[in-house]
Amino acid sequence: MSTVGILVNPRSGSDVRRLLTSAGSSTIEDKISILRRVIHGATESGAEHLVLTRDPFSIARRATENLQLPLKVALLDLPLHHTERDSVDAAQAVRDAGCGAVVSLGGDGTNRALALGWPDAPLIPLSTGTNNAFPFHVEPTVAGMAAGLIATGAVDLLAHSARAKVVAVEVHGGDLDAPGRATRQDTDLALIDAIAVDDPYVGSLELFDPETIKIGVFTRADPAAIGFSGLAGTVLSCTPDEERGVVLEFAPPSRNPARIVRAALAPGWFASVGLARTDYVDLETPVEVAGPCLLAFDGERSRRLHPSQTASLRVVRQGPRVIDVGAVVHSGARSGAFDEGMRD
């Protein structure tokens, strides 16, 4: 297998938070530049095939045309829905194409959709979105090199990657919110956090109101992060490697809760949040949430729980297999993967 897949969310880094906060933007030209660097790095590391899906802004086509590289490129045509389903479908298509490694361009929401489509994807997530607790910042050329080394088998995947934690969500009872679903139980996931909010509007353009936040379950908590993971990290620390998560019960700041913390819930946007309880939660231990409320996954309102519904939130290590880019290229260097030849 010498095939590398690349998933690009053309809308990452361009949502409503650009209007409401100081968040920066990731332009189409930025994504084309990143994609080209990934491709060059993967080719230099031995990748022979590249699989992408076509997008409304022709990012994949523009990045791959006139490459002049010894690389076969497949641009898959998939139906577009202009929702997260596009990323879910793209992940499934790239998996079915036999890719040995996949590079994603997006934020937490993009990678969450990818995980829904390909739960154990061998993944290098590059940050081009707003909520970037899950993807990381690394030079795309080096990310492509690592993807190529993994896809060709020059470096062992299992020795240089680890399954990510996710919040597994099971919804029970009532009529499910999503159309076309006939069962009374449904599943979902979050990569970083699942938050219950007392808010009637899934599509609200407002950021989260600290008065309405009820409870949150986190796979990681880091005060150096932006968003709810950063908020959780101000009171409890939890790394991606730890075999546990964090649960926070919130209280409206107006009601004089036991503790109030100040945190950056979006780039350049701070809020005071009240806390009633903070604790660690073991893997597989359910945290129960009752409707009515909204469930937000990785910073985005996703679904409504009606009064007759409940949700069970569990931190489990069943997410994508995240590739350690630095460890991969170091291993490749030690094995001579970058040698063109040796002179006496």
Structure tokens at 42: 């993967």
Nearest 10 degrees: CA dihedral of 222, 228, 231, 233?
-20
Residue at 17 is within a domain: yes
> Do residues 121 and 176 share a domain?
no
Query: What confidence score (pLDDT) does residue 111 get?
Result: 95
Residue at 343 is within a domain: no
Query: What confidence score (pLDDT) does residue 132 get?
Result: 76
Residue at 243 is within a domain: yes
> Could you give the CA distance from residue 130 to residue 15 in angstroms, rounded to a whole number?
8
> Do residues 18 and 159 share a domain?
yes
Which pTM was predicted? Answer: 0.89
Backbone angles phi, psi at 146, to 5 degrees: -65, -40
Question: Which amino acid is residue 128, in one-letter code?
Answer: T
Tens-level pLDDT at each residue, the chain (344 residues): 699 999 998 876 555 454 555 555 678 999 999 999 999 999 999 999 999 999 989 999 999 998 888 889 999 999 988 888 999 999 999 999 999 999 999 989 899 999 999 999 999 999 886 557 899 999 999 999 999 999 999 999 999 999 999 999 999 987 554 544 434 459 999 999 999 999 876 655 456 889 999 999 999 999 999 889 999 999 999 999 999 999 999 999 999 998 999 999 888 889 999 999 999 999 999 999 999 999 999 988 888 999 999 999 999 999 999 999 999 999 999 999 999 865 44
95: domain CATH number?
Answer: 3.40.50
> Do residues 202 and 113 share a domain?
no
> Do residues 159 and 188 share a domain?
no
Question: How many domains are contained in the chain?
Answer: 2
Structure tokens at 203: 């599509």
> Could you give the CA distance from residue 321 to residue 118 in angstroms, rounded to a whole number?
10
> Do residues 288 and 174 share a domain?
yes
C-alpha distances in angstroms, 202 versus 43, 148, 178? 43, 40, 12
Residue at 341 is within a domain: no
User: Do 12 and 105 form a contact (C-beta atoms < 8 A)?
Assistant: yes
Q: What residues contact 309, with CB distance under 8 A and at least 6 apart?
A: 171, 172, 173, 174, 290, 291
> Do residues 211 and 274 share a domain?
yes
Residue at 186 is within a domain: yes
The string of DSSP letters for 210-258 reads TTTEEEEEES-B-TTSSSHHHHHHTT--B-TTSSEEEEEEEE-GGG--S
User: Do 6 and 140 form a contact (C-beta atoms < 8 A)?
Assistant: no
Task: Give the residue numbers spanning the domain of 108.
Answer: 3-164+320-334
> Do residues 306 and 324 share a domain?
no
> Do residues 181 and 303 share a domain?
yes
Query: What confidence score (pLDDT) does residue 199 get?
Result: 80
297: domain CATH number?
Answer: 2.60.200.30
C-alpha distances in angstroms, 262 versus 230, 235, 267, 296? 10, 11, 14, 20
